[in-house]
Amino acid sequence: MPITLHRGDITTDAAADAIVNAANSTLLGGGGVDGAIHRAAGPSLLAQCRRIGGCATGDAVITGAGDLPVRHVIHTVGPVWRGGGHGEPELLASCHRRSIALAAAHGCTRVAFPAISCGVYGYPLDLAAAVAVEAAAAAIREHPVEVRFWLFDAAAHAAFERALR
């Protein structure tokens, strides 16, 4: 299955079956892509997240998608960058593997990902892109889904383009 890159707003991806949310551990919304997904999905997404009660770093959970043009939102909690020596690459890879496994288990064939941990969590773009692409490529060998990375700006798109080469 392919890995493709897209530039723009992940919440507009009507071709995906699931959108991955770069969530915080409370799942109650926040800034960046998390806030954008919650705003676009409407209040039912927050209600579903409240019922789940949270998610550990490196793990993922799935909900319905509210008003988004997809069936599911997969919430994953990426690591905060602390220099790279505190398990950040393994946790970020786990976010991608767990999200793809959840998507496949729920019948999804196309999954849209943001650049997890690259906003306020401070993960360097080039390092995150390399981990994300490698983890996604490995995961789709086991769970054949299409991975669609949505990158909000030119710098993120360029980093993921380099990682795909």
Please report the pLDDT score of residue 2 as a whole number: 94
Cβ–Cβ under 8 Å, residues 91 and 78: yes
Domains of the chain: which residue ranges?
3-164
Could you confirm whether 67 is annotated as catalytic? no
Please report the pLDDT score of residue 58 as a whole number: 98
Q: In CATH, what class is 3-164?
A: alpha beta
Q: In terms of Cα–Cα distance, which of 28, 21, 49 is closest to 112? A: 21
Instruction: Name residue, tokens 């490698």.
Output: 134
Helix axes 154-164, 125-142, angle to 10 degrees: 50
- The confidence band for 1, taking pLDDT boundaries of 50, 70 and 90, is low
Amino acid of residue 125: L
Amino acid of residue 78: G
- The confidence band for 52, taking pLDDT boundaries of 50, 70 and 90, is very high
> What is the rounded CA–CA span in Å between residue 151 and residue 104?
22
Catalytic residue among 9, 13, 17, 34: 34
Rounded to a whole number of angstroms, the distance between the first and last alpha carbons of the chain is: 16
> What is the rounded CA–CA span in Å between residue 2 and residue 38?
27
- The confidence band for 55, taking pLDDT boundaries of 50, 70 and 90, is very high
pTM: 0.97
**pLDDT 10s digits, 107-133:** 999 999 999 999 999 999 999 999 999
Pairing between strand 72-77 and 60-64?
antiparallel
